[in-house]
Structure 1
Amino acid sequence: VILHEMAHMWFGDLVTMAWWDDLWLKESFADFMGTFGNVGATRFKDAWITFANRRKAWAYRADQLPSTHPITADIRDLQDAKLNFDGITYAKGASVLKQLVAYVGQDAFLEGARRYFKRHAYGNTRLGDLLSVLGETSGRDMTAWSRSWLQTAGVNALTPQVLLADSRVAELAVLQEAAESHPELRPHRIAVGLYRLTEGGALERYARVETDVEGPRTVVADLAGAEAPDLVLVNDDDLTYCKIRFDAASLDTLLEHLGDLTDPLARALCWSALWNMTRDALLPARDFIALVLRFASRESDIGVLQMLHAWTHTALDRYAAPDWRETGGALLAEGALRQLRAADAGSEHQLAWARFFASTASAEPDLALLKDLLDGTASIEGLEVDQELRWAFLGPLAAHGVADESVIAAELARDDTASGKRHQVRCLAARPSAAVKAQAWAQVVESDTLSNALVEATIAGFDQPSQRELTAPYAEKYFAAIDRLWQERSIQIGMDIVSGLFPALQDRPGTLAATDAWLAAHEEAAPALRRLVLEARDDLARALRAQERDAQAG
């Protein structure tokens, strides 16, 4: 964050984009330079790992929504500008800049940046101003590159195609696909890595080739004759922006040996690829959860582990077949507690597992343990139950009816701060009561007295995966209220309400039909409002497809 904001002294302040269409000229560059500077100038050498696993996940989701847009977006008004501070402008833009560095070379990229600042210091620029200097320094055709990468939307999928003969690679090709809605096939500068299992059980890279991929099929001639791999990783080292796919043999290897990958960036890329497969209903949600239960404990990077925990919640709450959720939740709670007890005392991994265990706890013994940890009658070696962790434990206790209003009030007395107030409001709204839900709804939707932060906290407490029946009546109310709310509230609170209260947990075809009915009846609604509803609809449709796939696995 610090390096990102420092980068704005150059990208944004010294040279400023002429209009919001080129918002990326400051945000994408700052996002890229924040990570580039982290790796190059600080002790945080693993920053590209977190970028590959966490930051790019934001981009991949945004780029597959119906609201996706080119990195150089068409900004018509200030509502558009507000909404386009998004995963495309930040994370996809930064990812494409990393690809640009691979495409033109780091020296040419940095020299281009120097010339750009010298020519345009204290002035305003557009896309063409940057491309002209990069063309000078690299000798590459930046016009074609820009059209493919900056002026079209969507994400490509790259899949290895491996032909073997006598335990050798006869031919290895990379297949490129694009969605029907965004059919652009792009030029990719990638590294292809070949991995094999060693006698000691490690999964290690033994060959790597950089190549340019163009069109639907590219043969990687330099890998012909290599020993047969157990795993082929296209986009090794994360040079380009794409969804990684696997051939059948590589996928089989990962399902059994993901934790044996010795390179942390390769592991992060494989986790990301498997998550994208889950989102695309190519991998059953329960299989992804099984991978997390089996291999997440071997993940060395804390950012990747935290991302795995977040994805696992989505897999269980949104993508798993409804009749398997209870089983999956019990497996996750059991696995999380096991890893919490096994983690190194006082480590950040222990803290991450403690938070994950709390968020999965629902059975009486697990809730009792959380209560005892709060009371101090139980302890886990090395685990400091500080104020933030106390609130993390109290949330599920409130949601499952174990902690009442008086307990929550006592916790606020311990932490009478702005942060404590947000936690208290969230916990109050999380209680499993029809009256509580009615009050929370009224505070957010029917009155306008809460601050932005408390609106967000109330919404976070209102919608609990374990309380689908309690919140079901509010689906119809949501569609009746959002048009009025969008007109009456500020842009930020309107965004929080429209996105946060969408009945995503009422994940059935009827909710999808109700969303379509609202969209059909509100074709003249504010474009920004329609965009938010379309995005929520897309997430719901994706969840239903994933649930159908997971049910087939059962």
Structure 2
Amino acid sequence: MLGQLGQLARTAFTPVTPRSLCAQIIGFPPAQATSQSYTCRHTFSRRGKEARVKEEIRCRYGISHLWKGRILPGENLTRLEAAHRAEIVQTHSYRVELDLRDSTTFRSRTTIDFSGEAGAATFVDLIAQSVEKIELNGTAISPSSFQDSRIELAEIAAENTLIVEATCLYSHTGEGLHRAVDPADGEVYLYSQFEAPDSRRMFAVFEQPNLKARFTFSVLAPAHWQVFSVSPTPEPQPVADGLARWEFSPTEPISSYLTCIIAGPYAGVQGTYTAPDGREIPLGVYARKSLQKYLDGAEVLEITKQGMPFYEEYFAQPYPFRKYDQIFVPEYNMGAMEHPGCVTILDDYVFQSKPTAALVERRAITILHELAHMWFGDLVTMEWWDDLWLNESFAEYMSHVATARATRWQDAWVTFQASEKSWARRQDQLPSTHPIAADIRDLEDVLVNFDGITYGKGASVFQQLVAYVGEEAFISGVRQYLAKKAWGNATLQDLLTELEAASGRDLQQWARLWLQEAGINTLSPQITETAGRIDEFAICQEKDKHASLRPHRIAVGGYDLENGVYRQVAFTTLDISGARTVVPEFGGISRPDVLLINDGDLAYAKVRLDEESLTHIKEHINAFPPELQLTRALILFNVWDLCRDGLMNAADYADFALRALETEAHGTVLRYTLSQLVTATNLYSPPQQREELQQRVAAKLQDILQGAAPGSDRQLQLARTAIILAHSAADLDYFAGWLQGEKVPNGLEIDAALRWEIWQRLAAAQRITEADIQQELQERDNTAAGASAAAEARAALATPEAKARAWEELLAGKIPNAQQRSLCLGFTAGDAELLVPYVEKYFAEVERQWEERTVEFASNMITYTFPTKLTGRTDLGV
């Protein structure tokens, strides 16, 4: 999502070390400054007048340079600089002219109309190969003023026109204007990705969210392409030599990171939606030409048409833009991006093989997540990246509300528990955890906040907030917030103010505990009973080292097994806080077979089961009827937490999970339970017992597979996991036979995706050669998806030569971003002994990767090539 973390100083600058820089700025002797990072206090001046904002900001080696007495931060931008610039600059409009004829670079001409404080100095952002022209208010400025991703404007007028002509580079890593070639037909596809600071890779811009403007794009491109942007697509005007020009109308007032250009021979379907104000909103769904036969555009349009009226009523605002296109793009680093009226989506969501039910539902939730952003994020936009979490958490929460109430996936909150909350709990227990409302001091800080805390935990806390203030008050507050801040920028405090007014609750302390502190609390039952009746039931709360004891709005349920089926026999909701809270409604009742804290899943916490309940559940996990699917899912993931926290051994957890898998039918719960089974078996089990456990689990899973309904989602997911867990010669022979159509379970289609999973497992087990992989690619699946799958299979080959080749490819960083993650996953598959020579190499490489690669490349490399004693991947995908 973000560009490289630091551009080296050009020859016109004098680089200095952090110690000497710190010494020059605040007078510390160099010995008192650390060699890697430090904190210093900057006071920015404006024409001799001290800026009103002072704060501590971080400076890092390799990023900051001293020039003419001030800091130039390379490609970074601090919050302080952005606040200072917003005090003196107000943007009005941009005209961006792009020439997309060439294959390696493109021409960009930007005209910016803006007002400002006469006589003040400022800068505009740009990352380009070269700058050919800079003109401010009719006066030429030397192109040499473009340095370190900025164009310095020494003195602006009250009203200004800036013209910048530049040559920019296409990206092949997913940022800026990305260029991809479809191996199926050789066609070229472009798309832009600007969040957070990458519109400057396509045009000159005041790159910060609170300087909104109207943007007009003019694009010269091959005439057979389609070109999309935020504004409705105009009729292309023919130009000589097979070219055409698209002249877009001005956008609504939006932030620069929300602009976009998507271009190429995209194909798709169209529709319309009638808004409450009578407008006919054009709808479109598009993908690469080679994917058109797989594009189920009718379903995407149906979900969109279900979401539109739901959000319009919920927010009391009609859809704010003029059209709504959804374009599935190749080699995408993220799931989707909320450009107003022109959403881009990962084209893995165009299903070329049979998808799992979890993946189909995830696509629906993604569609509704981006649609929610049209109001919360696009119509009203954050002031600065501090509130990135607010955009994403709110959209993630609302996407599940809309999915559950407006689509066929009415059990979306089961999915939320299994996926988003599980992701959040996992990341909240890592050393890298951070508060939801993180302190975003500069663009670098944004990099670590597109994660499970921002999305999963933030959405979970919104779920808790709605329970805390009441849904009616929540809706009323959100409507007021959107009405007051429409087409502008806002902060978390703006939203809290409206929610406090609507609910009558003081949310400042709540916000401090939930949003400004990291970590997760653990809730455990404390029960005293006599002769089968509960004397006292209390909820005990423990905090980790990051968190305080928090307030929770929570429910408690009790369940008895009656005629082989669990039935709810007790239930209450209450507010809890502090270390111990008594639940008075449960005092004096007969002891239920199972007691469950956080029944209904309102709270965000780890929850423990008492011993009696756990014992009962181990035997009867399959006794929950369909209407209690959420309760069953909560228990499944509570038991997983016991294993993950070392309170249940891997073999016992595997037995429990296998029992649950005999009946589990919910697609996302099935997916995560299978993934956890693989992790417990292959990673958490004692090494001396691992092989025996792997064989036992594999045999049981194959038995369950044989009993799965032909053609069902259960059958597909069980088959995929059985392939991953295959280790014995007999198991490997069995799955290899599927490639030839031998002994395939009735109803299971061995399509391209499943074939590649078998090839990858056989490669890791040293059962095939590179020639076999190449033959599969050329003769059966010469597509972008096939290329990525083949890259993973080649890297998985269990030979020193294959690992060395994969490692060198990863270090070179020249492969397309879509294949890089696959290469990482393949590299770590198979015999762990082959990775021993790379342990020291890995740790020696981490810092360079982070400093020199894009965030996506560095993250993939660091995350997925981490050397473990793991045999076989645990990442099953969705």
Instruction: Point out the structure with the larger helix share.
Output: 1
Give the aligned partner of residue 52 of structure 1: 417
Give the aligned partner of residue 853 of structure 2: 489
1:244 is aligned to 2:607: yes
SS of 2:727's equivalent in the other structure is: coil
SS of 2:375's equivalent in the other structure is: coil
SS of 1:475's equivalent in the other structure is: helix
Task: Say whether the 8 Å CA contact 2:517–2:547 is kept in structure 1.
Answer: no
Q: In structure 1, how many angstroms separate the alpha carbons of the residues matched to 2:422 and 2:870?
A: 24
Task: Say whether the 8 Å CA contact 1:63–1:154 is kept in structure 2.
Answer: yes
Task: Say whether the 8 Å CA contact 1:53–1:271 is kept in structure 2.
Answer: no
In the TM superposition, what whole-angstrom CA distance separates every residue of 1:65-91 from its partner, at most 9, and x where no partner exists?
Answer: 112111110112223212201101100
Q: In structure 1, how many angstroms separate the alpha carbons of the residues matched to 2:399 and 2:748?
A: 32
Q: 2:689 aligns with which of 318, 324, 343?
A: 324
Give the aligned partner of residue 63 of structure 1: 428
Give the aligned partner of residue 342 of structure 1: 707
Q: In structure 1, how many angstroms separate the alpha carbons of the residues matched to 2:510 and 2:433?
A: 19
Give the aligned partner of residue 473 of structure 1: 837
Task: Say whether the 8 Å CA contact 2:518–2:547 is kept in structure 1.
Answer: no
Task: Please state how far the C-alpha of 1:281 moved relative to its aligned partner.
Answer: 0.8
Give the aligned partner of residue 454 of structure 2: 89
Q: 1:157 aligns with which of 513, 522, 532?
A: 522
1:195 is aligned to 2:559: yes
Q: 1:402 aligns with which of 757, 763, 767?
A: 767
Gaps of 5+ in 1: 508-554
Task: Please state how far the C-alpha of 1:476 moved relative to its aligned partner.
Answer: 0.8
In the TM superposition, what whole-angstrom CA distance separates every residue of 1:149-174 from its partner, at most 9, and x where no partner exists?
Answer: 11111111111111112321211110
Partner AA of 2:862 in structure 1? V
Give the aligned partner of residue 221 of structure 1: 584
Give the aligned partner of residue 463 of structure 2: 98
Q: In structure 2, how many angstroms separate the alpha carbons of the residues matched to 1:331 and 1:17?
A: 52
Q: In structure 1, how many angstroms separate the alpha carbons of the residues matched to 2:477 and 2:453?
A: 23
1:127 is aligned to 2:498: no
Give the aligned partner of residue 547 of structure 1: none
1:441 is aligned to 2:804: no
5 Å matches for 1:408-447? Answer: 408-413=773-778, 414-445=780-811, 447=812
Task: Please state how far the C-alpha of 1:506 moved relative to its aligned partner.
Answer: 7.7
Q: CA RMSD in A?
A: 1.3
In the TM superposition, what whole-angstrom CA distance separates every residue of 1:279-335 from its partner, at most 9, and x where no partner exists?
Answer: 111111111111112221211211101101111121122211111110111112112
Partner AA of 2:785 in structure 1? S
Task: Say whether the 8 Å CA contact 1:472–1:506 is kept in structure 2.
Answer: no
Q: In structure 1, how many angstroms separate the alpha carbons of the residues matched to 2:847 and 2:573?
A: 51
1:385 is aligned to 2:753: no
Task: Say whether the 8 Å CA contact 1:156–1:177 is kept in structure 2.
Answer: yes
In the TM superposition, what whole-angstrom CA distance separates every residue of 1:256-300 from its partner, at most 9, and x where no partner exists?
Answer: 222223311011111111111111111111111111122212112
Q: In structure 1, how many angstroms separate the alpha carbons of the residues matched to 2:558 and 2:739?
A: 49
Q: 1:505 aligns with which of 869, 873, 876?
A: 869
In the TM superposition, what whole-angstrom CA distance separates every residue of 1:98-156 from its partner, at most 9, and x where no partner exists?
Answer: 11111111111111111110111111111111111111111112111111111111111
Q: In structure 1, how many angstroms separate the alpha carbons of the residues matched to 2:509 and 2:851?
A: 42
Task: Please state how far the C-alpha of 1:475 moved relative to its aligned partner.
Answer: 0.3
Q: In structure 1, how many angstroms separate the alpha carbons of the residues matched to 2:413 and 2:707?
A: 28
Give the aligned partner of residue 105 of structure 2: none
Gaps of 5+ in 2: 1-365, 872-878
SS of 2:739's equivalent in the other structure is: helix
Number of positions where the alignment pairs a residue of Structure 1 with one of Structure 2: 503
SS of 1:473's equivalent in the other structure is: helix
Q: In structure 1, how many angstroms separate the alpha carbons of the residues matched to 2:870 and 2:784?
A: 32
In the TM superposition, what whole-angstrom CA distance separates every residue of 1:232-267 from its partner, at most 9, and x where no partner exists?
Answer: 100001001000111111111122222223311011
Give the aligned partner of residue 78 of structure 1: 443
5 Å matches for 1:249-328? Answer: 249-262=612-625, 263-328=628-693
Q: In structure 1, how many angstroms separate the alpha carbons of the residues matched to 2:586 and 2:656?
A: 30
Structure 1 stretch displaced more, 326-335 or 5-14: 326-335
Structure 1 stretch displaced more, 229-238 or 332-341: 332-341
Q: In structure 2, how many angstroms separate the alpha carbons of the residues matched to 1:481 and 1:225?
A: 62
Task: Please state how far the C-alpha of 1:375 moved relative to its aligned partner.
Answer: 1.0
In the TM superposition, what whole-angstrom CA distance separates every residue of 1:37-90 from its partner, at most 9, and x where no partner exists?
Answer: 011111111110011012111100111111211111011222321220110110
Show structure 1 runs of 4+ deviating over 6 A: none
Q: In structure 2, how many angstroms separate the alpha carbons of the residues matched to 1:185 and 1:96?
A: 15
Q: Identity rate of aligned residues, in percent?
A: 44
Task: Say whether the 8 Å CA contact 2:520–2:547 is kept in structure 1.
Answer: no
Q: In structure 1, how many angstroms separate the alpha carbons of the residues matched to 2:743 and 2:558?
A: 48
Q: In structure 2, how many angstroms separate the alpha carbons of the residues matched to 1:346 and 1:150?
A: 45
Q: In structure 1, how many angstroms separate the alpha carbons of the residues matched to 2:533 and 2:644?
A: 33
Q: In structure 1, how many angstroms separate the alpha carbons of the residues matched to 2:421 and 2:484?
A: 32
Instruction: Point out the structure with the larger strand share.
Output: 2
Q: In structure 2, how many angstroms separate the alpha carbons of the residues matched to 1:484 and 1:385?
A: 41
Partner AA of 2:570 in structure 1? A
Task: Say whether the 8 Å CA contact 1:79–1:491 is kept in structure 2.
Answer: no
Task: Please state how far the C-alpha of 1:184 moved relative to its aligned partner.
Answer: 0.5
Q: In structure 2, how many angstroms separate the alpha carbons of the residues matched to 1:58 and 1:129?
A: 28
Q: In structure 1, how many angstroms separate the alpha carbons of the residues matched to 2:788 and 2:586?
A: 56
Q: 1:375 aligns with which of 740, 764, 777?
A: 740
Higher relative contact order (CA 8 A, sep 6+): 1
Task: Say whether the 8 Å CA contact 1:345–1:382 is kept in structure 2.
Answer: yes
Q: 1:204 to 1:391 in 2, by over 3 A?
A: same
Task: Say whether the 8 Å CA contact 1:69–1:153 is kept in structure 2.
Answer: yes
Task: Say whether the 8 Å CA contact 1:54–1:303 is kept in structure 2.
Answer: yes
Q: In structure 2, how many angstroms separate the alpha carbons of the residues matched to 1:73 and 1:371?
A: 49
Task: Say whether the 8 Å CA contact 2:418–2:669 is kept in structure 1.
Answer: yes
Partner AA of 2:560 in structure 1? R
Partner AA of 1:27 in structure 2? E
Q: 1:316 to 1:79 in 2, by over 3 A?
A: farther
1:35 is aligned to 2:390: no
Task: Please state how far the C-alpha of 1:403 moved relative to its aligned partner.
Answer: 2.0
Q: In structure 2, how many angstroms separate the alpha carbons of the residues matched to 1:483 and 1:173?
A: 48
Partner AA of 1:246 in structure 2? L
Q: 1:143 to 1:189 in 2, by over 3 A?
A: same
Task: Say whether the 8 Å CA contact 1:196–1:231 is kept in structure 2.
Answer: yes
SS of 1:379's equivalent in the other structure is: coil
In the TM superposition, what whole-angstrom CA distance separates every residue of 1:216-237 from its partner, at most 9, and x where no partner exists?
Answer: 0000111212211111100001
Q: In structure 2, how many angstroms separate the alpha carbons of the residues matched to 1:119 and 1:215?
A: 37
In the TM superposition, what whole-angstrom CA distance separates every residue of 1:484-527 from its partner, at most 9, and x where no partner exists?
Answer: 233322222112112222223389xxxxxxxxxxxxxxxxxxxx
Task: Please state how far the C-alpha of 1:183 moved relative to its aligned partner.
Answer: 3.8
Partner AA of 2:687 in structure 1? P
Task: Say whether the 8 Å CA contact 2:424–2:453 is kept in structure 1.
Answer: yes
So what's the TM-score if we normalise by structure 1? 0.89
